[in-house]
A and B are shown apart, each in its own frame.
Chain A
Amino acid sequence: MSNAPDFSHWACPVPLRSYPTIVMGHGGGGKLSAELVEHLFAPAFRSAALDALGDAAVLELPAGRLAYSTDSFVVRPLFFPGGNIGALAINGTVNDLAMMGAQPCYLTVGMILEEGLPVAELGAIVEAMAAAAQTAGVEIVAGDTKVVDKGHGDGVYINTSGIGVIPADVQIAPNQARPGDVVIVSGEIGLHGIAILSVREGLEFGAPVASDCAPLNGLVAAMLAASRAIHVLRDPTRGGLAATLNEIAKASHVGIEYEERRLPVPEAVAAACDMLGMDPVHIANEGKLAAIVASDAADMVLEAMRRHPLGAQAAIIGRVVEQHPGVVVARTAIGGSRVVDMQVGEQLPRIC
């Protein structure tokens, strides 16, 4: 697979062509800033609130509880197999809202651009954001752009914030896991982290690995339509499934046990982890969720997940127990057991 992003399809709008790269003036609030908004952001995001060009978006929201979240994205490289920072920034916040059972409605976007960033790259990122927002059914209603001196950023940093509406009878939170509940993961783990590692370090692991970057709100809606006995939802991003399960075990004061052989791990991820001395449960995902579900609803929820394209390989991997509260235990393939802790910092490749 070629790792070089392709911008050939992207045609620069006329007024932006005089500057093929971002200059300090694009963040200065003058004509260059206005051109960026008028000819790049506004046409891509197509939002009435954005088109009004006011200082703030004015929104209508249904009554009830709101979920509200923010996240910043600093990924390097900006383009990777299976996505780019733009898609990641939209899906990341959409997924954070979805993990509370909310239907995401509105997003804001803050961008910090590094002087010298090719406008074609920015264009491709903005188009990916627009496409991801459309797929997730959310509207981008406000934004801001700043430019920093060359050498003071990695091309683009993006912050997104979002608001979603939680249906009245949904009670999903990290502290809701109960002994007896089952643990479900929505599909193959480890893809995003290994995809990023493979392009960042130029490593190849036999088969090419693409990020699983995707919006999960549709899958969550399908799960909630099947049953309201979903107690916890988390998307295992940085820190991987191990961090997510540990957070749930601690927040709910319960133990969690899972079977290693039930974990859906793609062969390429397993091979990469074996080679580098890493563990798939510590690798980041961007389009997967872990669900803690009441045991009598588990089959129904699993069925609903498997009918959705993003949950086709969903699997029950373990259960919530009363014992060892706050601790996650894996049953190993050969029948041993081990505690699965969070990583201290970044996962470091072993020497041999």
Chain B
Amino acid sequence: MKYLDEFRNPELARRLFDEIYAITTRPWAIMEVCGGQTHSIIRNGIDQLLPPQIELIHGPGCPVCVTPLELIDKALAIAARPEVIFCSFGDMLRVPGSGKDLFRVKSEGGDVRIVYSPLDAVRLAQANPTREVVFFGIGFETTAPANAMAVYQARQLGLRNFSMLVSHVLVPPAIAAIMESPDNRVQAFLAAGHVCSVMGTWEYEPLVARYHAPIVVTGFEPLDVLEGIRRTVLQLERGEARLDNAYARAVRPEGNVPAQRMLADVFEVTDRSWRGIGVIPQSGWRLSARYRDFDAEVRFAVQDIHTQESALCHSGEVLRGLLKPNQCPAFGKECTPRTPLGATMVSSEGACAAYYQYGRFVQLTGSEP
């Protein structure tokens, strides 16, 4: 992992901090879009070491957190069916639906399995021809190519017992929704590096122009995040708004073109409901007409879903950057990672879980750099 150590070098980090201090003269509110960046910021303690004028607002880029409650309830209903093997990435299992989570369904006899790749679910379908294998296909543009590939392969293999419960979401419409909300405070964005490695950077040019907000494509290691912040502050201080790529080692302007072709074949753009935020037009993907047979929502017509969100949970305001997790009255009290009221307390990319896990509920001593 030598190539990663280089991006965690304390000396270089110190130099970047010094530069950020030197150029910062006014308060700025910057949103890191991606949950992976939130995780890195909190895990490395970056937010504590920045100039006090710089506020990092944690964006809605945790796929687990924004998956709508109704879809999680559908997942719970499908997973409970005796003929189904329900496959999911690990951190979806503890996300609360209306009353229970996938771990509960598993303990009650549901065949729920953690997989590391959607292609593992395709292999399970091949190995279990008498069972229905359902994969919970969630995530942003980053996880979408592998999910698209799984559906594509299932079709090539003629698998009739494989389907996908899809809730893909897209970053650019979310940025637009945040900028257009009346209570918005965000002045610039760190765009999600891995999303851009798939989709390229061209989608962000119109957003920069329309909202006159700097957007800097940023990676995930400490030095990547610091460089993204430095370039963002530089633009803000100069009154500029440009699209900048601070993650050029992984992101090309055109993105991954073969992956985009696969996505365009398997998915089509649709309105999507974001948990805690509401419906954002044209903000997600569903399976395209060619692949509708593999849509688990079509195959298992789940009826009678009555969703019920916790009345105490403020995760919507957290996801829109209006509330810090530890400003929520339930934080650390009714709501902990052991008893999560909302999805933001579940995934390690969720802002509430990151705050809780890395101790934003205790006063630290000796935390000077």
Q: State the A residues within 8 Å of B (CB).
A: 201, 203, 255, 257, 261, 267, 270-271, 274, 276-277, 321, 323-324, 327, 329, 332-341, 344-345, 348-352
Contact = CB atoms under 8 A, between A and B. Distances in A.
B358 A338 contact: yes
B45 A350 contact: no
A270 B143 contact: no
A257 B364 CA distance: 11
Given A321-B365, A327-B362, A332-B44, 20 more contacts: A255-B365, A257-B366, A261-B10, A270-B1, A324-B364, A327-B359, A329-B359, A329-B365, A333-B10, A335-B10, A336-B44, A336-B369, A337-B48, A337-B366, A341-B357, A349-B91, A349-B114, A350-B347, A351-B347, A352-B63
29 contacts: A201-B116, A274-B4, A323-B365, A327-B362, A332-B43, A332-B45, A334-B14, A335-B13, A336-B367, A337-B45, A338-B358, A338-B359, A339-B358, A339-B364, A341-B356, A344-B94, A344-B337, A348-B91, A348-B114, A349-B90, A349-B91, A349-B116, A350-B91, A350-B347, A351-B89, A351-B91, A351-B347, A352-B63, A352-B140
Contacts, number: 114
A351 B347 CA distance: 9
B222 A334 contact: yes
B276 interface: no
Given A338-B359, A348-B91, A333 B143 contact: no
B302 interface: no
A3 to B, nearest CB: 16
Contact of A341 (B36, B94, B359): B359
Contacts of B142: 352
Contact of A324 (B43, B94, B365): B365
A336 B46 contact: yes
Given A270-B1, A271-B1, A352 B139 contact: yes
Contacts of A257: 366
Q: Top 3 A-B pairs ranked by shortest CB distance? A: A336-B45, A339-B359, A348-B90
Contact of A334 (B39, B46, B90, B143): B46
A329 B368 CA distance: 13
Nearest to B62: A351
Contacts of A341: 356-357, 359
B138 interface: yes
B143 to A, nearest CB: 5
B143 A352 contact: yes
B338 interface: yes
A352 B358 CA distance: 19
B1 A334 contact: no
Contacts of B364: 324, 329, 337, 339
B90 to A, nearest CB: 3
A4 B89 CA distance: 26
A247 B364 CA distance: 19
A203 B116 contact: yes
A277 to B, nearest CB: 6
Interface in B338-366: 338, 347-349, 356-359, 362-366
B320 to A, nearest CB: 21
Contacts of A352: 36, 63, 139-140, 142-143, 194
Interface in B75-96: 89-94
Most central of A271, A324, A333, A335 by chain B CB within 10 Å? A335
A334 B8 contact: yes
B68 to A, nearest CB: 16
B259 to A, nearest CB: 14
B interface bracket (residues with beta carbon within 8 Å of A): 35 or more
Contact of B348 (A271, A332, A350): A350
A61 B143 CA distance: 61
B179 interface: no
A351 B138 contact: yes
Given A323-B366, A324-B364, A329-B364, A334 B45 contact: yes
Contacts of B91: 348-351
A349 B46 CA distance: 23
A88 to B, nearest CB: 23
B64 interface: yes
Contacts of B93: 348
Most central of A277, A329, A332 by chain B CB within 10 Å? A332
B42 interface: yes
Contacts of A335: 10, 13-14, 45, 49, 369
Contacts of B8: 333-334
Contacts of B140: 352
Contact of B10 (A255, A271, A334): A334
Contacts of B114: 348-349
Contacts of A344: 94, 337-338
B62 to A, nearest CB: 9
Contacts of B359: 327, 329, 338-341
Most central of B94, B114, B358 by chain A CB within 10 Å? B358
Nearest to B14: A335
A350 B89 CA distance: 7
Interface in B39-77: 39, 42-46, 48-49, 63-64
A257 B367 CA distance: 11
Contacts of B4: 270, 274
Nearest to A276: B116
Most central of A201, A329, A337 by chain B CB within 10 Å? A337
Contacts of B349: 350-351
Nearest to B48: A336
A8 to B, nearest CB: 28
Contacts of B49: 334-336
Contacts of A337: 45, 48, 364, 366-367
B139 A351 contact: yes
A276 B114 CA distance: 12
A154 B73 CA distance: 32
Most central of A274, A321, A340, A344 by chain B CB within 10 Å? A344
Contacts of A340: 359
A204 B337 CA distance: 30
Nearest to B194: A352
A20 B39 CA distance: 52
A334 B367 CA distance: 12
Interface string B270-302: 000000000000000000000000000000000
A271 B5 CA distance: 11
Contact of B45 (A201, A274, A338, A345): A338
Contacts of B43: 332, 338
